[in-house]
Structure 1
Amino acid sequence: MRDFYTDMRDFYTDMRDFYTDMRGFGSDMRDFCTDMRGFRSDMRDFYTDMRGFDSYMRDFFTDMRGFRSDMRGFGSYMRDFFTDMRGFGSYMRDFFTDMRGFGSYMCDFFTDMSQVLNIV
């Protein structure tokens, strides 16, 4: 009978540890979802900029047909093009920063899951 109580106490301790790990996992998932909302916002801004880039490229090729007559228009669109490319670099940097955070959360997730599997 004493062994039964010892086993039950150990089981209770294991379950308490398991629920503690699950709370940590829930917190990690909440942080991950928050980061994904930021990533989605960054991607929406990126696609908006890409639509603007498409417009600049269309205008660029239109101006290239009239290249001899209007070099100033070409220079203006090239300046806008490189300004947009700088913005693209910024969004790509944000994207890779978000991906680094995603990798960190996935590592935490698999660590928590390995602890759960070790308890069970």
Structure 2
Amino acid sequence: MKVKKQKCHRKIVRFFSVCFGFRHPFKVLCDGTFVHHLVNNITSADTALSNCLCAPIKLFTTRCILVELKTLGASYSHSFQAANKLTIARCDHEKRKGANACILDVIG
């Protein structure tokens, strides 16, 4: 990443840390599309996001996202396996929801 771009990212991260109280390591909630994109481009999410945010991160996903990836079929099987290795965040739904609704509920 270019120095100027990295400096800009560092300023943005510092702003959110000061204004909203974000702390290291940052928790990143990943949906199925994001994981699928990473798998297709053979990119390590840990290093890519750590370099972008200039800080350590922890990657999370939810059960609803895993169920959605599983229902998408064989073309998303590698994405499902990759998402299954991430830390599972709790989502307190009685029934399984779509990924978008689940993420909105988890974030608040």
Q: TM bucket by the smaller chain?
A: under 0.3
User: With CA pairs under 8 Å and 6+ residues apart, which has the higher RCO, 1 or 2?
Assistant: 1
Give the TM-score normalised by structure 1.
Answer: 0.22
Give the TM-score normalised by structure 2.
Answer: 0.24
Identify the structure with the greater strand proportion.
2
For the pair shown, the structure with the greater C-alpha radius of gyration is 1
Identify the structure with the greater helix proportion.
1
